[in-house]
A and B are shown apart, each in its own frame.
Chain A
Amino acid sequence: MTKVIKLALVASVLAGGLSANDVLKGSGASFPYSVYQKWTKAYYKATGIKVDYISKGSSKGIKDAKARQVDFAGTDKPLSPKVLKQNNLYQFPGVVGAITMGYNIPGVSNLKLSRSAIVAISEGKIKYWDNKLITAANAGLKLPHEKVTFVHRADGSGTTFNYTYFLSKVSKEWRHTYGAKKSLNWPGNQHIGGNKNTGVASLIKQTPYSVGYIDYADAQKNGIVMASVENRAGHYIKPELKAFQIAAAKANLDPKKDFYSIIADPKGAYSYPIVAATFILVPAEKQETNKKVTAFFDWSYKNGQEIAKSLGFVPLPDALTDKIRKYWEEKGIR
């Protein structure tokens, strides 16, 4: 009898161990977490293969990938080819998302924000809504003489990195003074911090005359009004999936540089400017698990488009996914 129990125990431990090996483990960036989570679920339904992605933040993802603690890691901040080589990692983009300027001005629903206005708001230099930098772009709109409250993320996040990266591209002064960072000691004294996207969303909603950066998915989910943003060509672009897609298609992601590039502020007359790609890192030496990882992303690129769209993200354009597949083949991980 005891033998049977022992056998059963051994068998169950073995089985547990085996099935644990079947799970692809990933960790990292929280920005694309909602998409990856739904992709893994759909992938499991379709193929029976389990993928487990934990949202820990980009820095921890990079750490995990370097320490070989996961099969793949997500990061919003791409690593340079040099660093990838040092750590023996490969890199490719996962999905593209957009950051919007959500605001709350009672009675105003079609605000336009110029590039300089966004920088000035972030720098805490615009005190009131009827500031010239804002009214200049909004002829016909009566903006009140009310204090501007800028809402930002309190926690370190890829969203903040991508937003400050955009600011750095737009403004020389911003680049020199603050740069692109995951968390920032925000200048000025008319700003408040919200914890995670939920916190930012509710602060914008509850604070009249506030404005803040928030990813498109959460802004939409919470019914926050979003401003049209001036792009590089000087057009004011409404935050819409179509505009994000145009931006993603213009992005210059080069497989020769391991896709090392940030796509904020792309060219094109109709591109929405504050877009961000998020990346996947895989350890180069683990060919077999990498094939499983790339199979998952391959499937997701093909079948996960609707899921990504429903969450306010943009599926990668076909031209890009073709490049990524080629990159995989070159590296022998497909």
Chain B
Amino acid sequence: MEKIFQKLSLSSASLVLVILIGIFITLFSAAKPAIEEFGLHFLVDPTWNKEVPVEGTADTINTALNNADEDIIEDEDDMILDEDEESQTKTLYGGLVPIVGTILSTLIALSFALPIAMGIAVFLAEIASKNISKFVGMAIELLAAIPSIIFGMWGLYYFAPIISDAFGGYQVSLLTAGLVLGIMILPFMAAITRDSMNTTPDVLKESAYALGATKFEVVKDIIFPYSKVGIIGSIILALGRALGETMAVAFLIGAVYSLPEKITDPTISIPVAMAVNFGEASGLGESALFYLGLILFVMSFIIISVAKFYFLKKVKL
């Protein structure tokens, strides 16, 4: 029995690793054509889906086009280029815009949600009476259960007009997407932070009060230091969700391949680029999307492990 139990738990633990490695391999092999074509330049190239003549044949193309030029094409065959047929142009893909969009929207979401989540958690753990705490706590957990498509539609129909009235600019923008993303990750941070705050031993708090500390001082000097690990854990979890959120952001970010100049400009994120283009993508375009997916995978991996190993270690010491 003991042995079976041990093996079962071992295999379920290793399954996670196998799945992770499997995902990485699939992504990598699907992205390989794009990686070979664009290399690391992909990371800093802001163009997406741009057709350019293949080097050296530019002249022949131009003459071919000029010869075939009539104002209205009667023979449709001239116009439709099948994907199977060889084309003399190649399409360029670069990932800079979605990468920047992902990072910026996540940063906006975090900086909006973090203070509010902390406020909620302190309120629930320390200030509110038990009944209110229970009620609000439940509401927070329900918020976490709302499907992201609902956040997307709600954001598009009701939230976006308010944002553009208040801040100007377009209704769908980095800001709108970031704020709705913030609302979506808020419950994770608040609930986990509250739970870890609740683990602060009462002895510590009571001794502080006995020494004449105010509530603010207790929260600041006892509860926060004690529950730091849990708080950072909650931020990491929320970060993971914000980086990969697709549906809600797809409706709200504007899906435009240009770098935002202002916070109210539309742009695009990696998950959105993948979701909206995947249906009609083929060939190198599809591979470029997988490349984006690989970048997101590696990016979240790096961010989360840095947070985990660096910050958590620092806090524990």
Contacts and interface: CB of A to CB of B under 8 A. Distances in A.
B279 A60 contact: yes
B73 A169 contact: yes
B172 A203 contact: yes
A79 B82 contact: yes
Interface in A278-297: none
Nearest to B283: A59
B50 A185 contact: yes
B281 interface: yes
A86 B266 contact: no
A114 to B, nearest CB: 16
Nearest to A58: B280
A185 B273 CA distance: 12
Interface in A122-181: 149, 154-157, 165, 168-169, 172, 175-176, 178-181
B84 A86 contact: yes
Contacts of B172: 192-194, 203
B266 A192 contact: yes
A235 interface: no
A172 B156 contact: no
Interface stretch (B21-29, B33-41, B105-113, B248-256): B248-256
A63 B80 CA distance: 18
A184 B156 contact: no
A220 interface: no
Nearest to B81: A179
- Please report whether the interface of chain A is mostly helix, strand, loop or mixed according to DSSP: loop
Contact of B84 (A83, A175, A262): A83
Contacts of A165: 79
B171 interface: yes
Contacts of A79: 82
A195 B280 contact: no
B69 interface: yes
A62 to B, nearest CB: 8
Contact of A80 (B48, B80, B275): B80
A79 B82 CA distance: 7
A77 B80 contact: yes
Contacts of A180: 79-80
A49 B48 CA distance: 45
Interface of A: 30, 56-60, 62-63, 77-80, 82-83, 86, 149, 154-157, 165, 168-169, 172, 175-176, 178-186, 189, 191-195, 199, 202-203, 206-207, 232, 260-262, 265
Interface of B: 47-51, 65, 69, 71-73, 76-77, 79-85, 156-157, 160-161, 170-172, 250-251, 254-258, 266, 268, 272, 275-277, 279-282
Given A192-B256, A206-B160, 12 more contacts: A60-B280, A80-B82, A80-B85, A156-B277, A176-B65, A179-B81, A183-B281, A185-B49, A192-B172, A193-B266, A203-B172, A261-B76
15 contacts: A30-B279, A56-B279, A78-B80, A169-B72, A169-B73, A178-B51, A180-B80, A181-B49, A185-B49, A185-B257, A199-B156, A199-B250, A203-B156, A203-B172, A260-B77
